[in-house]
Amino acid sequence: MNLQHLRYFLAAARGGGFTQAARTLHVTQPTVSSAIAELEKSLGVRLFHRGRQVELTDEGRRLADFAVRIEDLVDEARESVGVGEPATGDGFRFGAIDAAVIYLLPEVLRGYVAAHPGVELAIEVGPSSRHLVEEVLANRLEFAVISLPFEDPRLGTLPVLRDEMPLVVGAGHPLAGRRRISLEQVAREPLILFPPGSVSRRIVDEGLAESGVSPRSAMEMGSPEAMGKLVEAGIGISFLPRLAVAESLGSGALREVRVTGLTLSRQIGLAWRRGRWFGPAVRALVEAFLETCGMVDDWRSATATA
């Protein structure tokens, strides 16, 4: 076993196959296959199920946990004796919910790319916070920007931004002229809701349940931007993140209506695997993002102990 073998093994585990690993590492597919075969021979086990899809065996999953820790230690050692700055050829993958990509990260990424043009970034825009957390815990993402709260003992989280979720209606809706309505009036209207299991849906369901209201669902979907367009068209009303509807509220296409006795909001924040060590390239991006909301010291404190 050597570090190069482990590097090829992790690339195949994260990429879901030898071909993708070869592309990521800029080597040939036989090179990856040969290295993993040698690693399997030295350990006396099969690390992958080979078929139409390449999947880790139980032994492979156990080795992946150790390999990630070894990778972290190597990176930490390199930084300790090196310059500790992002270098050309560095690269990493992180995740974010669509609202973060659209409304929070563009300026941060523009500055980061300008300052570190040699770093290769890959962003996964997740269909849900749960999906992104699963990718973080599987070591396929360095970190993710998700909706909180999200509870998992293996996960470290840091709330960064409170995002209100007001009730919005279309400009032509009968409630558009009302400044405040009752929960009973909300219950009579068709609601466009987030999918079950999502953080935003849980916030809405729990808020209504505490008030003794059972919502009348018109449809469910995961994109707040698409939900806003359906509300504009008069198909239903919805509780939507302010980040996603601020422009439509400003233009008058959507109207905010306050609900007596109910105020909903979500937190947007960072999530990472506890114990994860972050190299210079990753840390530079995280801290550039957190500088915009004055949370750098909080993150350094959290990662120093998590």
Query: Whole-number mean pLDDT of the chain?
Result: 88
The phi and psi torsions of 295 (rounded to 5 degrees) equal -115, 15
pLDDT of 77 over the 80 cut: no
Q: What one-character DSSP code corresponds to residue 237?
A: B
Q: According to the model, what pLDDT value does residue 3 have? A: 83
* Least confident stretch, 17-26, 167-176, 252-261: 17-26
pLDDT of 81 over the 60 cut: no
Average pLDDT of the residues in 34-52: 89
Q: According to the model, what pLDDT value does residue 288 have? A: 95
Torsion sign across C-alpha atoms 93, 94, 99, 104 = negative
Give the span between the Cα atoms of 223 and 243, in whole angstroms. 13
pLDDT of 85 over the 70 cut: no
pLDDT of 150 over the 80 cut: yes
- Band (78; pLDDT cuts 50, 70, 90): low
The proportion of the chain whose per-residue pLDDT surpasses 90, expressed as a percent, equals 54
| Domain span(s) for CATH 1.10.10.10 in the chain | 1-82
Q: What one-character DSSP code corresponds to residue 145?
A: E
Three-state DSSP at 262 gives strand
- Band (218; pLDDT cuts 50, 70, 90): confident
Scan for tokens 């560095």, then name that residue: 90
**CATH architecture type of domain 166-263:** 3-Layer(aba) Sandwich (3.40)
Average pLDDT of the residues in 268-289: 91
Average pLDDT of the residues in 131-160: 91
Give the span between the Cα atoms of 98 and 152, in whole angstroms. 22
Q: According to the model, what pLDDT value does residue 176 have? A: 94
For 86-139, what is each residue's pLDDT tens digit?
656 678 899 999 889 988 999 999 999 999 998 989 999 987 888 999 999 988
Longest dimension (CA), the chain: 73
Three-state DSSP at 155 gives strand
Question: Torsion over CA of 127, 130, 132 and 137, rounded to 10 degrees?
Answer: -160
For domain 87-161+267-306, the CATH class is alpha beta
| Domain span(s) for CATH 3.40.190.10 in the chain | 87-161+267-306, 166-263
The proportion of the chain whose per-residue pLDDT surpasses 70, expressed as a percent, equals 94
Three-state DSSP at 213 gives coil
**CATH architecture type of domain 1-82:** Orthogonal Bundle (1.10)
